[in-house]
Amino acid sequence: MEIKITQDSYQALQQAINEVSANGGGRVSVECSINNAHTIYLKSNVELHIAHNAVITGSADHRDYDDFNPPELCGIKPEKYNHTLIAAVNAGNIAITGSGTLAIPGAKFYDESTFNGRFFAKPATPRPRILHLVDCSDVLLSDTLYKDAPCWTIWLSGCNRVTLKGLRVEGDQRMINNDGIDIDGCRDVTVSDCRVKTCDDCLILRAMPRDKEVVCENVVFTNCLLSSACQGIRIGCPSDDIIRNCRFSNMVLDCPGNGINIDNPVRYLKEGCNGKLDLSNITFAHMTINSGWLPIRLGVDDGVKLRSIRNLVFDDIIMQSSYPCDFHGSAETTPENITLRNIKYIQTAPNERESNFIVRKCRRFRMENVELDTM
């Protein structure tokens, strides 16, 4: 079954999605621009196809978005972060395809008149995402442009068997917290051939705690181009659950901020928790990192006690920066089995630090075929 949308009406789009799902599934094809859209719910067995030159633009008023806080999230985020343009929960066999655009007028959710030289000021009002899927399975996202989200652009939480390919994520690098693709507590995910430009993190692995064990595993990112004012790749926070068996490969990170960031500061701890993350078996291979800050940072603050950080491999990476790579544990947490192999570090300006590679409170840290080209 296929329904084509040719009128500027998000209500007609929602009605078509409901009808197609109720009749066993099929495609809803958007062939025009839809403006001032409110929250749209994707249903099982529906492909939402956004045709070339078609644009679905969300409202500039946060009050037009539903409070999307399904019980499956167990209050994972404060209420003000629950707004989204496209939402789904417990849906199966769903897709968003086509070379059209999903957009939100993101700057309208910031105070553009207040700029600190890096970021617009954030008002207290809620800022919506473009896409949030919760506990969905057999998901395909391909080819679409996701533009100017004022909060995380794509958040997949607790989803299984997911394919993202050929996506374009574009966010104003003056809008903080506009993450690109957040893979949170998901299993069996491939992300390939994507271009992501944001102010905040581009590609993210999380296992945000719920009232049950959360595991993020078997995730592959490959053939992506990243640009972030904060960090190209972000993995974990100290109160997260289990992240394991994931791989990043064949990427170019051209980032005014950090390249790869695995940071566990005290300020990120959830209330009543001094650390929980169990991170293991993560590989970064065949990359070029041009970084304005740290090309690689793996850190744990004193006072943070994680279950483990172990078995991380950085292989075949060319990096350029005036800042060092920094690997450090804490009195409570010792990262172990960290391997740097076939690394070329090119120093682009005088380094005020003592070393191009800082290693503290780590166990079984290996460096093989590491070349330094310093000034």
pLDDT digits (tens, 9 = 90+) for 309-334: 999 999 999 999 999 999 999 999 99
What residue spans of the chain are helical by DSSP H?
Answer: 10-22
Please name the residue that has the structure tokens 């099929």: 26
237 by DSSP, 3-state: which?
coil
CB 216 within 8 A of CB 186: yes
Per-residue model confidence (pLDDT) at position 73:
83
Percent of the chain at pLDDT exceeding 70? 97
| Interatomic CA distance for residues 109 and 147, integer angstroms | 14
* Structure tokens given for 216: 């993020």
- What residues form DSSP beta bridges with 246? 219, 282
Q: Is 166 exposed, middle or buried (0-12, 13-18, 19+ CB in 10 A)?
A: middle
Sign of CA dihedral 66, 72, 75, 78: negative
Per-residue model confidence (pLDDT) at position 353:
65
What residue spans of 39-166 are helical by DSSP H?
Answer: none
* Least-confidence region, from 44-53, 62-71, 95-104: 62-71
Please name the residue that has the structure tokens 């343009």: 85
Task: pLDDT band for 34, please (50, 70, 90 cuts).
Answer: very high
pTM (predicted TM-score) = 0.96
Rounded average pLDDT over 351-373 = 90
Sign of CA dihedral 133, 135, 136, 141: positive
The DSSP element (H or E) to which 347 belongs, if any, is strand 336-347
Name which of 226, 230, 256 is nearest 320 in CA terms: 256
Q: What is the mean pLDDT of the chain?
A: 95
Sign of CA dihedral 25, 84, 59, 31: negative
Rounded average pLDDT over 145-170 = 97
Task: pLDDT band for 354, please (50, 70, 90 cuts).
Answer: low
Q: Are strands 195-198 and 101-103 parallel, antiparallel or unpaired?
A: unpaired
CB 126 within 8 A of CB 106: no
